[in-house]
Amino acid sequence: MTDYLIYLLVKGIGTIFYILPYRLALKMGEALGRLFYHLDKRHRLVALDNLQKVWGKEKSSRELTQIAQGVFRNLGRSLVEFCRMSKIDEHNIEQFVEIEGWDNFENAKQSGKGILITTAHFGNWEMIPQALAFKGQPLNSIVRPLDNIYLDQLVTRIRTGFGSRIIPKKNALRGILRSLRRGENIGILMDQSTASNEAVLAKFFGYPCYTLTTPVVLALKTGCRIIPLFITRCSDNRHKMVIHPPFELIRSDNYQQDLLTNIQALNDIIEQQVTQHPDHWLWIHRRWKF
């Protein structure tokens, strides 16, 4: 009953965001983010602790606080955009998302093998599958289902409403391999802490953290291409999706060393993005467990 009431509340808020004029809805989302910065003490402290760990010696407390507040504002705006996804189609997508580096994607597709797109909880990452789908390249996203089944069904309907598909994170390997054999695209968020049995200890901002090995393991074993891809907010209602050149895998006779070297390189790419746009990343997650 509690889960259902939460679902009704979220759906009601989402409906308001959907029917309001776009700019007004974004302002409300930003205000909601500012409100939750003050109300959500647990995640606020996690963000500030992470920022202090990474930039405490370089930035003032005021600067770190401004970044943390920006994270919550970005999440509020992203929530509004997620609720309004069905208003975007192949005819107006360019009003919202500018794509840079599309030739990198097309060149990688010429291999005839599937593509592994590596990204992070950065900017409004939920818009990536939508933008790709409207370019004729739907994405199969690896997702952990929400604990609230009603909310999970609602979110899944939105995420798959434009042709993309969801692969549940638990026991996802079979579904990933099947999709790659069909030459499809797989999206993997690799910036969150994960179980040690499917990760290696790589560094992120100089500190060790468990990092998902799946994309590199699959690329080394199947020959599929890895493409890093990130989306940044240019203004309140415009985004730029940058598609990097295919990632060049390091291969040698030492598989374990290759695994760590390549994972570290992918972590470094994410780190560069976060450094350029620090308020775009999900600092409210406990990335470091040490």
Quick one: 187 and 260 in the same domain? yes
Q: What is the pLDDT of residue 112?
A: 82
CA 220 to CA 188: how far, in whole Å?
16
Quick one: 95 and 83 in the same domain? no
Q: What is the pLDDT of residue 50?
A: 98
Last residue in a domain, options 55, 87, 119: 87
**Helices (DSSP H) in the chain: which residue ranges?**
2-19, 22-39, 41-55, 61-83, 102-109, 127-133, 149-159, 173-181, 214-222, 255-276
Give counts: helices (H), strands (E), the chain. Answer: 10, 9
Quick one: 200 and 132 in the same domain? yes
Residue 6 in tokens: 């939460």
Inter-residue contact 71 to 284 (CB < 8 Å):
yes
Q: Which domain holds residue 79?
A: 1-87
Q: What is the pLDDT of residue 237?
A: 77
Inter-residue contact 83 to 14 (CB < 8 Å):
yes
Q: Give the DSSP letter of residue 146.
A: P
Consecutive H or E run containing 170: none
Q: Give the DSSP letter of residue 84.
A: T
Please state whether 136 falls in left (phi above 0), alpha (psi between -120 and 50) or beta. left
Three-class SS of residue 96?
coil
Quick one: 73 and 174 in the same domain? no
Quick one: 102 and 236 in the same domain? yes
Number of structural domains found in the chain: 2
Quick one: 24 and 117 in the same domain? no
Last residue in a domain, options 38, 64, 87: 87
Inter-residue contact 285 to 210 (CB < 8 Å):
no
Last residue in a domain, options 58, 87, 116: 87
Distance from the Cα of residue 10 to its chain's centroid: 21
Q: What is the pLDDT of residue 219?
A: 93
The number of beta carbons lying within 10 Å of the beta carbon of residue 181 is 12
Quick one: 130 and 261 in the same domain? yes
The number of beta carbons lying within 10 Å of the beta carbon of residue 231 is 24
Quick one: 147 and 184 in the same domain? yes
Q: What is the pLDDT of residue 153?
A: 95
CA 246 to CA 243: how far, in whole Å?
9
Q: What is the pLDDT of residue 28?
A: 96
Quick one: 103 and 188 in the same domain? yes
Q: What is the pLDDT of residue 194?
A: 85
Q: What is the pLDDT of residue 174?
A: 87
> Which residues of the chain, if any, have pLDDT below 50?
none
pTM above 0.85, yes or no: yes
Quick one: 198 and 214 in the same domain? yes
Quick one: 249 and 231 in the same domain? yes
